[in-house]
A and B are shown apart, each in its own frame.
Chain A
Amino acid sequence: MSDNRSAWKALAPWLAVFVLLLFAPRFLPRFHVYLFGLIFTTGLLAVSLNLVLGLGGMYQFHHAVFYGIGAYTVAIVITKTALSPWIGFLLAPVVSALLSLAIGLICVRLSKLYFGMLQISLGSLVWAVVFRWYSFTGGDDGIHGISVPDIISSTDGAYYFSLILTAICLILMQRIVNSPFGMSFQAVRDNPVRSEAVGINVKRLQLTGMVISGAFAGIAGSMFVVIEGSVFPELMFWTLSLEIIIMCLLGGWFTFLGPMLGAAIIVLLRTFVGIYTEYWTIILGVVLMLLILFLPQGVLGYFLEKFNRSGMKPVQEEK
């Protein structure tokens, strides 16, 4: 009984936030509604990366590839085939998961920096193909003016689509984090050798983590198509991958929702600083430098630590 009550207490604020967000488009100007959609998309992407980066401690250096492939899947199904657009949305996570599986099978043999570098080279290969395959992917121009189904084509429609999808994905990911799988994943992060010794198949676990995370990135990619109506190769360029890692770092990668916060900060920074100056990346660069020098546990991580609440426990830094 009391267990139920405390669970309800923990849930209530999130429910309130969700209801608030449901009514937000009624009060907010269109541009802000659009921005919220973008924040949900980018935030979901960052949280999905954090599943392997923060929870699993894997150097997933080229997460953007799975995001981009998800977006391209939807775009190509809509523009090049006669299939229903909804098939595209169903296919996006599947294709991303398959690509994760393929890249993961090659990469998980290695660890840390070698893992990350091999992933960057494989991801760059995918990017290079997309960049030059004009007849299929639109090459460096990308595909523009993608007409998504009417119900989600308006600004509000796109907003609700991304809000609901993000909420569902976050709930699923939260469950994954707290599942036995999530627990063993953390154990592997903290001590791979000992985990292996107690019978965890480390490589398979890491591969599974990559596939799950890739699938969620694919969903985020499909949301991007709905919000922007276009895709382009920059979606899977390696600089975007590092930007997503920055979002995780900024929000705090030992917390579940920290990356969401980090994504929101970056999207807002880019939008509003971008209005005043074209030199917004220098500001991002300086913020990042200060962050690494003085606040390596991230914004949310800092506050959690300050108020002494338990998030995901931080790992010791490796020498």
Chain B
Amino acid sequence: MDFASNITVSALFQQALVGLSRTTILFIVASGLSLILGVLRIPNVAHGSLYMIGAFIMYSVNLFFGGGQTGFWIAIILSPLAVALISLVVERGLFQHLYEREHLMLLLFTFSITLVFGDLVKMVWGSDYRCVDLPAAFQGFFTILGFPFPRYNLLLIIIGPVVAFGLWFLTNKTRIGKIARAAAVDREMVGAIGINVSLIFAAVFVIGCFLAGLGGALVAPTQNIRQGMDHAIIIEAFLIVIMGGLGNIWGALLGALIFGLTDSIGILVWPQFAIVFPYVVVVIALLFCPKGLLKSTW
């Protein structure tokens, strides 16, 4: 067995940086999920589908504008917006009638949306793997402390905290965020003082799904875009949200950090079982803090 045979300082450092960029993607997706869970109480399995759709739209828009610097940035901006639009239609058309249902029904309902979206993606984009080429500016490596490090990953590591701060600002400092947090605690009371809760819920849902789309768009250049990436991400995102504490943005960040780092460091320790490590960590965390590491909003 090649157990722990290739651990060196340089490899550790590099894997940690790779893990951090993976953390960014996980955090962006999980924070959207957490927001929807915390405020709307919907365990949104379709979140993974929106992530996948975000990645595919990123591919198509980038292709349409001929790639390069322009195509890349237009795609990064447009695809989360497109995903947000899709989610707005879904929320207004379907979800707003279902808020009173119990969680199990909501979970199954979002799963049915996953099934539909999965096949729609297959119809539109086919079952082939797709790749997005990075513009020249992001190809190649920076040298950090003497170690080569992919430029795009550095961009991701910068974007992560920006999104976290933006979300914190939105939920804590803006009017809509404050109302949303109040509505999460007592929906009827907020409605009774004359606020249109339904619209607030729609806004929160759309913002959450926008984040799924953003995660998908950002991940597109780093891996194959394919069917099934929705199923892989959603389970990870759920675990992160549960581990961090439902509805807690910082919990999602902490969870994503733990998940991303154990995943990337685990590859050094025992490559064959690398994917097992994050799950083990989640289970251990939940054994000691069954309701998540940080305070949940439930």
Residues of A within 8 A of B (CB): 59, 61, 106, 109-110, 112-114, 117-118, 120-122, 124-125, 128-129, 131-134, 237-239, 242, 245-246, 249, 278-279, 281-282, 284-286, 288-289, 292-293, 296, 317-319
Q: How far is the CB of B285 from chain A (nearest CB, A)?
A: 9
Chain B nearest CB: distance from A192 CB in Å?
15
Q: How far is the CB of B15 from chain A (nearest CB, A)?
A: 18
Contact: B109 with A285, CB < 8 Å?
no
Contact between B272 and A288 (Cβ–Cβ < 8 Å)?
A: no
Q: How far is the CB of A61 from chain B (nearest CB, A)?
A: 8
Residues in B with CB closer than 8 Å to A238 are 231, 235
Contact of A124 with B103 in the complex, beta carbons under 8 Å:
no
Give the Cβ gap from B76 to chain A, nearest Cβ, in Å.
Answer: 29
Interface contact A245-B108, CB-CB below 8 Å: yes
B276 touches A239 (CB 8 A): no
Chain B residues with Cβ under 8 A from A122's Cβ? 283
Is B24 part of the binding interface, using a Cβ–Cβ cutoff of 8 Å? no
Residues of B within 8 A of A59 (CB): 103-104
Bound form: Cα–Cα A278–B242 in Å: 35
> A121-B242, A125-B276, A281-B115 known; A292 and B286 CB under 8 Å?
no
Interface residues of B in 103-158 (CB under 8 A from A): 103-105, 107-109, 111-116, 118-120, 122-123
Min CB distance B84 to A, Å, is 21
For A319, the chain B residues whose CB sits under 8 A away are: 100, 102
Q: Is the Cβ of B114 less than 8 Å from the Cβ of A289? A: no
Tell yes or no: B73 within 8 A of A by CB: no
Chain B residue at smallest Cβ distance from A284 = B115
Given the complex, which residues of B lie within 8 Å of A61, measured CB to CB? 107
**Among A120, A121, A128, A281, contact of B276 (Cβ-Cβ < 8 Å):** A128
- Which residues from A are CB-within-8-Å of B108? 242, 245-246, 249, 288, 292
Measured in the bound complex, the distance between the Cα atoms of B109 and A289 in whole Å is: 6
B residues with a Cβ closer than 8 A to A are: 43, 45, 94, 97-98, 100-105, 107-109, 111-116, 118-120, 122-123, 231, 235, 238-239, 242, 272-273, 275-276, 279-280, 282-283, 286-287, 290-291
Extra 6 A-B pairs, beta carbons < 8 Å, given A279-B119, A285-B115, A288-B111: A106-B286, A237-B231, A289-B94, A289-B116, A296-B105, A317-B101
Please give the distance in Å from B18's CB to the nearest CB on chain A.
Answer: 20
Partner of A285, one of B97, B104, B113, B283: B113
In the complex, the answer to whether B100 meets A292 with C-beta atoms within 8 Å is no
B283 touches A125 (CB 8 A): yes
Q: Given A118-B242, A120-B238, A285-B119, answer yes or no on A132-B273 (Cβ-Cβ < 8 Å).
A: yes
A to B CB contacts below 8 Å, 5 in the list: A118-B286, A124-B239, A278-B122, A279-B122, A282-B118
Which residues from B are CB-within-8-Å of A237? 231
Contacts of B235 in A (CB 8 A): 120, 124, 238
Our pick among A110, A121, A134, A292 for the contact of B112 (Cβ within 8 Å) is A292
Rounded to whole angstroms, the CA-CA distance of A319 and B283 in the bound complex is 29
Q: B120, B272, B273, B276: which has the most chain A beta carbons within 10 Å? A: B276
Q: Are B113 and A289 in contact (CB under 8 A)?
A: yes
| B294 vs chain A, min Cβ distance (A) | 15
Min Cβ gap B71→A in Å is: 30
Among A121, A246, A284, which residue has the most Cβ atoms of chain B within 10 A?
Answer: A121
Expressed in whole angstroms, the Cα–Cα distance for A289 and B90 within the complex equals 12
| A279 adjacent to B282 (CB under 8 Å) | no
| Chain A: minimal CB distance from B105 (Å) | 6
B190 → chain A, closest Cβ, in Å?
Answer: 16
Contact at B272–A134, with CB atoms within 8 Å?
yes
Residues of A within 8 A of B280 (CB): 125
Known: A245-B108, A281-B115, A285-B113. A121 touches B239 (CB 8 A): yes
Q: Looking across the interface, which residue of chain A has its beta carbon closest to that of B239? A: A121
Q: Which chain A residues lie closer than 8 Å to B238 at the CB level?
A: 117, 120-121
CA distance A225 to B98 in the complex (A): 40
